[in-house]
């Protein structure tokens, strides 16, 4: 029987060869195998550790049995039917016995060597081999050369499961595991320093694994690992981000992550950096996430980022959003515009309105946002842009909204539109300035008249503005230098004096003095104003200019005469029908119609075919006014004449004719109007729809309904108004179901309520 220690002859026959090597496996997860190796030029048989992951974990009796099973499995022929018996669960105190099968006794020394080295690795003190030894065998009793299991420092702490492993420090020195364990328990500074030094290793594998292990070792690591975010190796930077996750609120870590994000070229890694910073509690840092995705994200991510930035009060927000107003991805550009509005970035918004690189629709949205601003300058800036760039419907609303801003800057901005090349802009502006009622705008109307754009319309609007002023103000305006303003003022004196019941001698003298002006515009304005008084002194005054050399003055005199009743100035007015000026003739026709002079019927019929459109239009209107609705023959005659007028070569005559037809509740008049519902000119179509509404004839309802779905909003608006006048309630209710425009929906509701 072999004695313990092994028989001396066997010991002498073998050379003890100890060769150190860093094993790939951790201590406690290996088995030993007796194998042939080449050492220099010599062939040796050596015990070699083999990795066995299934042995990992705190060693127990189960691990011991499993280890022996693995030995048998690796070399079935060597172990044969050999078996193990384990008494006790703790390897350090357990009694372990291995019965070697007699059939493999020739391999007993190999079985003993492999088993002892493998099981002592698990913490077993010694193993009994009945029939071969007289007591437990330990490693010291095994006469074979072997590789000692060496474990890098970072794998050896906080503790090793075996006392046999040796610990290799970063500087190459080797230390007993028991010594290292003791130093670790005392948190030896040199040991911790040695651990950190692995982060400077040349191979990424070591660096990443040490970085991952640091959080589990309960030593400070944030600053050390944060430095790895600058490492040249992507794998190291990525691992550092993962390891630093629990420390993201650490200022040192957050600052390092910001620097990393700015420098990172790898898109996937940069995105991870952005996500990392997005979880930091401090908004100073977590803003980096939306800033990054706004710049680098796909459309969906950039869109979300633009919206998210509106929640930050940070100086970086406005420049970032402003930069993306020019984003080719329109959804992102619109989102940036929306967020700029939320953060009250008025300066950036106004600047964008002037930037042609910003999409036109985006600029319109910015202008809409500014137009809702409570601050007057921004509101004006937004509305101004809409007036100049939006479509008619929105632009018109912007002009109206501008007029609601009670500020001189808003007024002067409004006045700048009055000479616009676009008619709807000019006319809406004129109407709003009249509504505003500020006499300072009189000069703007003068500019519009001088520009010869809608001069007649502007003259009337300027007059309406002046009539709104107190008589004292109107009289003051008669002394200004601007001829057009003076004319409007002189024109308004009469009506204003009548309203204020101040038609005194002083006021009248101002007008009669004006009749002597060298300026025909002033003389004509005074003639109109004097006519308002319609008394003997007014008649006397008008006679002084009845033969004025200026056609426009005589036309104004004719207009003034239209206010008189009876025979006063009737002969003089009638003579104007033969005047050499068509302008004067037209004014005379209108005034005679106003005075109800039906006796000139035949003359008016003849003038309805006059070569001048102004005279023809006046004649059409006057004939319709004068004919008695009880005179069936006369009505038929006028309707026939007017029906011909709706095909006149001149638009003003056609509009006058169709408007006049609207004063008749007659099916033939309705037919004459209906022909113009599809006219080429918008003004003509609108006049025809309005005329149908005025007829009050049942047949007009369906005709109006035929244009209720027109794509032109103005046409639909006029149709709704006409339906209301015609009492077409069922048609209005049906229209309400189909109308998509909010303004027109409101108009329908108002009409149905009778407002």
- Token pair for 245: 């996750």
Residue with tokens 């172990």: 79
Residue 111 near residue 78, CB atoms below 8 Å: yes
Question: In sequence order, what E strands does 60-212 have?
Answer: 83-87, 95-99, 127-128, 146-152, 166-168, 174-176
Task: Say if residue 302 is exposed, middle or buried (CB neighbours under 10 Å; 0-12, 13-18, 19+).
Answer: buried
* Residue 469 DSSP one-character state: S
What residues does 128 pair with on adjacent strands? 97
Tokens for 458, please give them.
């502007």
Alpha-carbon distance of 406 to 645, in angstroms, equals: 45
Q: Which residue, 397, 388, 385, is CA-closest to 350?
A: 385
DSSP designation for 137: B
Residue 96 φ/ψ region, left for φ over 0, alpha for ψ in the -120 to 50 degree band, beta for the rest: beta
Q: Which residues contact residue 614 at a Cβ distance below 8 angstroms, ignoring those fewer than 6 apart?
A: 582, 583, 586, 652
Angle, vertex CA 587, rays to CA 551 and CA 443, nearest 5: 70
Alpha-carbon dihedral 538, 541, 459, 432, rounded to 10 degrees: -30
Q: What is the pLDDT of residue 28?
A: 53
Terminal Cα-to-Cα distance of the chain (whole angstroms) = 125
The β-bridge partners of 21 are 149
Give CA–CA dist 313/549, Å, rounded: 73
In terms of Cα–Cα distance, which of 556, 567, 566 is closest to 590?
Answer: 556
Domain ranges across the chain: 8-144, 469-595
Q: pLDDT of 367-383, one tens digit each?
A: 999 999 889 999 999 99
pLDDT of residue 75: 92
Q: What phi, psi does 569 have (nearest 5°)?
A: 60, 15
With a CB cutoff of 8 Å and minimum separation 6, the contacts of 407 are 376, 380
Kindly give the residue spans of alpha helices, DSSP state H, lying in 345-436. 346-353, 360-371, 376-389, 392-403, 408-415, 423-436
Return the closest-CA partner of residue 332 out of 351, 362, 371, 306: 306
Closest CA to 325 of 316, 315, 338: 338
Low-confidence ranges of the chain (pLDDT < 70): 1-28, 39, 160-163, 755
CA distances from 127 to 69, 124, 228, 502, 705 (A): 15, 8, 48, 134, 109
pLDDT score, position 707:
92
How far apart CA 653 and CA 649 sit, in angstroms, is 8
Reading across the β-sheet that carries 95-99, which strands appear in turn? 83-87, 95-99, 127-128
**In this structure, how many other beta carbons lie within 10 angstroms of the beta carbon of residue 43?**
9
If you classify domain 469-595 with CATH, what class do you get?
Answer: mainly alpha
Residue 175: its pLDDT value, please? 85
Question: What global pTM score does this model have?
Answer: 0.72
CA distance 208 to 750: 75
The answer to whether 382 touches 370, Cβ cutoff 8 Å, is yes
Angle at CA 686, nearest 5°, toward 685 and 690?
120
**Strand ranges, E, within 269-317:** none
Do 425 and 414 contact (CB within 8 A), yes or no? no
Q: Quick one: which of 182, 175, 184, 177 has its CA closest to 213?
A: 184
As beta bridge partners, residue 137 has 127
Whether the CA torsion 589, 592, 598, 599 is positive or negative: it is negative
- Degrees to nearest 5, angle at CA 674 with 672 and 679: 105
CA distance 736 to 733: 5
- The pLDDT of residue 8 is 31
Element spanning 699, H or E: helix 699-705
Inter-residue contact 515 to 544 (CB < 8 Å): yes
Distances (CA, A) of 551 to 191, 274, 546, 579, 727: 113, 80, 11, 9, 45
How far is 572 from 568, CA to CA, in rounded Å?
A: 9
Sign of the torsion angle spanned by Cα atoms 446, 450, 451, 452: positive
Helices 613-626 and 651-661 sit at what angle, rounded to 10 degrees?
10
């Amino acid at each position: 029987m072999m004695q313990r220690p092994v028989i001396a002859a066997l010991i002498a026959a073998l050379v003890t060869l100890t060769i150190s090597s860093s094993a790939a496996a951790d201590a406690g997860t290996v088995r030993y195998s007796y194998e042939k190796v080449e050492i220099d030029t010599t062939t040796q048989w050596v015990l070699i550790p083999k990795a066995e992951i299934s042995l990992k974990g705190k060693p127990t009796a189960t691990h011991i049995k499993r280890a022996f099973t693995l030995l048998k499995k690796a070399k079935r022929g060597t172990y044969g039917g050999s078996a193990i018996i384990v008494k006790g669960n703790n390897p350090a105190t357990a009694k372990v016995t291995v019965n070697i099968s007699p059939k493999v006794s020739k391999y007993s020394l190999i079985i003993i060597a492999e088993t002892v080295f493998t099981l002592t690795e698990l913490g077993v003190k010694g193993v009994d081999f009945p029939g071969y030894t007289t007591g437990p065998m330990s490693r010291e009793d095994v006469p074979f050369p072997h590789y000692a299991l060496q474990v890098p420092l970072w794998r050896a702490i906080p503790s090793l499961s075996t006392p046999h492993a040796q610990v290799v420090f970063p500087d190459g020195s080797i230390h007993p595991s028991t010594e290292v364990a003791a130093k670790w328990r005392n948190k030896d500074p040199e040991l911790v320093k040695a651990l950190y030094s692995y982060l400077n290793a040349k191979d990424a594998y070591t660096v990443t694994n040490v970085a991952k292990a640091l959080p589990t070792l309960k030593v400070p690591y944030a600053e050390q690992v944060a430095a790895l975010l600058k490492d040249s190796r992507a794998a190291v930077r990525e691992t550092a981000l993962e390891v630093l996750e629990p420390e993201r609120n650490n200022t040192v870590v957050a600052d390092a992550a910001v620097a990393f994000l700015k420098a990172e070229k790898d898109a996937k890694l940069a995105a991870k950096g952005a996500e990392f910073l997005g979880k930091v509690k401090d908004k100073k840092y977590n803003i980096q996430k939306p800033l990054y995705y706004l710049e680098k994200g796909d459309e969906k991510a950039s869109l979300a980022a633009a919206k998210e930035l509106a929640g930050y009060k940070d100086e970086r927000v406005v420049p970032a959003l402003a930069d993306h107003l020019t984003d080719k991805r329109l959804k992102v550009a619109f989102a940036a515009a929306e967020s700029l509005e939320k953060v009250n970035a008025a300066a950036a918004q106004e600047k964008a309105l002037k930037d042609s690189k910003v999409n036109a629709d985006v600029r319109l949205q910015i202008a809409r946002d500014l137009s809702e601003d409570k601050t007057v300058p921004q509101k004006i800036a937004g509305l101004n842009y809409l007036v100049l760039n939006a479509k008619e419907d929105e632009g018109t609303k912007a002009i109206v909204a501008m007029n609601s801003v009670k500020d001189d800057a808003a007024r002067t901005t409004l006045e700048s539109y009055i000479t616009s090349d676009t008619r709807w802009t000019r006319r809406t502006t004129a109407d709003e300035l009249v509504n505003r009622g500020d006499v300072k705008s009189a000069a703007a109307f003068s500019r519009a008249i001088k520009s010869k754009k809608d001069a007649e319309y502007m003259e009337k609007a300027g007059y309406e503005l002046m009539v709104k002023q107190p008589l004292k103000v109107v009289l003051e305006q008669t002394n200004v230098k601007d001829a057009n303003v003076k004319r409007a003022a002189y024109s308004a004196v009469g009506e204003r004096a009548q309203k204020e019941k101040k038609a005194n001698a002083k006021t009248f003298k101002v007008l009669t003095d004006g009749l002597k002006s060298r300026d025909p515009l002033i003389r004509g304005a005074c003639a109109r104003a004097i006519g308002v008084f319609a008394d003997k002194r007014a008649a006397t005054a008008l006679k002084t200019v009845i033969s004025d050399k200026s056609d426009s003055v005589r036309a104004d005199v004719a207009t003034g005469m239209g206010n008189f009743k009876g025979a006063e100035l009737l002969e003089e007015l009638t003579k104007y029908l033969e005047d050499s000026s068509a302008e004067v003739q037209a004014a005379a026709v209108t005034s005679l119609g106003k005075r109800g002079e039906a006796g000139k019927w035949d003359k008016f019929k003849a003038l309805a075919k006059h070569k001048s459109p102004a005279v023809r239009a006046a004649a059409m209107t006057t004939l319709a006014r004068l004919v008695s609705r009880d005179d069936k023959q006369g009505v038929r005659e006028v309707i026939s004449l007017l029906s011909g007028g709706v095909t006149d070569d001149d638009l003003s005559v056609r509009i006058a004719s169709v408007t006049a037809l609207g004063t008749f509740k007659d099916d033939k008049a309705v037919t004459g109007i209906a022909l113009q519902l599809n006219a080429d000119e918008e003004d003509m179509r609108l006049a025809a729809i309005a005329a149908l509404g005025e007829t009050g004839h049942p047949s007009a309802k369906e005709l109006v309904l035929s244009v209720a779905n027109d794509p032109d909003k103005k046409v639909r608006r006029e149709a709704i108004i006409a339906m209301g006048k015609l009492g077409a309630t069922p048609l209005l209710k049906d229209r309400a179901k189909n109308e998509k425009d909010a303004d027109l929906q409101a108009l329908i509701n108002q009409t149905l309520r009778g407002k």
